[in-house]
Amino acid sequence: MAESKLLHLFDDQKHYLKSFQTFNSYSAKYAMQETWTNTVLLDNIVPHLPNLDRDKQLRVFGIGSGSGEVDYPFLTALLKKYPIITNRVVEPAEDQIIKYKALVQSKGHELQGVKFDWRQQTLEQYRDTDGVGTKFHFISTIHSMYHVEDVDSSLMYLYDLLEPGGKLLVIILSDQSGFSNFLNRLPGLLKQSLRYISSAHIRRPFEARDIPCVQIHRNSEVDITECFNETSEDGELFRDFLVQLKGFRKTATPSQYKEAMEYLASSECTKKDGRKIVMNNDRDAVIVTKMST
Ligand SMILES: C[S@@+](CC[C@H](N)C(=O)[O-])C[C@H]1O[C@@H](n2cnc3c(N)ncnc32)[C@H](O)[C@@H]1O
């Protein structure tokens, strides 16, 4: 069967960012920050990072850091142990880098000791230009592995960029979530060759190579009632984010749209809470340790 003209959200950066921000405004995404900074970074990563002399810099690498809201608390937490940090960031969206720079400026004194090196590039472009020139003690990719062209090879590349004993942190949608159930069934429902990534895709290449990797699971829910509203702009942006397609209601055939929305409303993806429709949006943090050679 010929594929219909569904447009991928990532092909329109502006629309993607608008729908991502709409999703964030409903999902209380940053409420999880304390868990990521305290339980994941401070309890499970920092104590195991290599010890450095006080005058040596910790090299940190952020992949798809966006506007820096998640990376900035990480940096302030790392500064407590490592007073000198170089933070390289690859982020392809110019407006996100502008926002990140403004955030850094507004937090000036809290980030004293951090030298930033922003690269307006995709990870693939960085790989082509820098190869494995610089090695890092800590690499984080927070909700950005969905976007890379080849997940396995990107992860192994990031692993190669780690110093011995260094840590890679990937935060991503859990394969145990209702959201992931929805995305897994979507290509079949839409009869499209779409690709969606969750934590299982992250663990797989490391487990296959016996590389140590631990996972920390966090529960989360999001009220998605608004995405069933066909008359509001928020509803459209929210829906587009969930399916990761641009203008989904207008570009899908009526039957594709109906099937996808019915499945989304089913108990495999969501639950009813009074008049609300609530989706399980659990996340996983996958921590990988670079083995000493
Ligand atoms: C969902 S946002 C996450 C932003 C931020 N890490 C956060 O958690 O708020 C994904 C980010 O990945 C960036 N991105 C998209 N394609 C990328 C690629 N190929 N390499 C690196 N980053 C990419 C996007 O521009 C966007 O800022």
Q: Which residues line ligand 1 (CB under 6 A)?
A: 20, 63-66, 69-70, 90-93, 96, 122-124, 142-144, 147-148
Question: What is the whole-number distance in angstroms between the Cα of residue 147 and the centre of ligand 1?
Answer: 7
Give residue 139 CA to ligand 1 midpoint distance, Å.
Answer: 14
> Is the model's pLDDT at 29 over the cut of 50?
yes
Distance from residue 273's CA to the centre of ligand 1 (Å): 32
Nearest atom in ligand 1 to 142's CA: 6
pLDDT tens string 214-269? 999 999 999 999 999 999 999 999 999 999 999 999 999 999 999 999 999 999 99
Share of the chain above pLDDT 70, in %: 98
Query: Judging by beta carbons within 10 Å of its beta carbon (0-12, 13-18, 19+), is residue 203 exposed, middle or buried?
Result: buried
pLDDT tens figures, 79-135: 999 999 999 999 999 999 999 999 999 998 999 999 999 999 999 999 999 998 999
Protein residue with least CA distance to atom 22, ligand 1 = 64
Domain 7-289 has CATH 3.30.200.20: no
Say yes or no to pLDDT of 30 above 80. Answer: no
Which tens digits make up the pLDDT trace of 39-49?
A: 999 999 999 99
Choose the residue to mutate in 147, 172, 242 for probing ligand 1, maximizing ligand atoms within 8 Å of C-beta: 147
| CA 275 to ligand 1 center in whole angstroms | 33
Determine the distance separating the centroid of ligand 1 and the alpha carbon of 122, expressed in angstroms.
9
Q: Which of 187, 154, 148, 183 is nearest to 168 (CA)?
A: 154
Q: If you average pLDDT over every residue of the chain, what do you get?
A: 94
Contacts of 194 (CB under 8 A, 6+ apart): 6, 8, 186, 187, 244
Which helix or strand (DSSP H or E) is residue 178 part of?
helix 178-190
CA pair distance 31, 58, nearest whole angstrom: 27
At how many degrees (to 10) do helices 233-243 and 13-27 cross? 100
User: What angle do helix axes 71-79 and 94-106 make, rounded to 10 degrees?
Assistant: 40
Q: What is the DSSP letter of 51?
A: P
DSSP secondary structure letters along 73-98: HHHHHHHTT-S-EEEEEE---HHHHH
What is the distance between the alpha carbons of residues 209 and 226, in angstroms, rounded to a whole number? 43
> What's the pLDDT at 34?
87
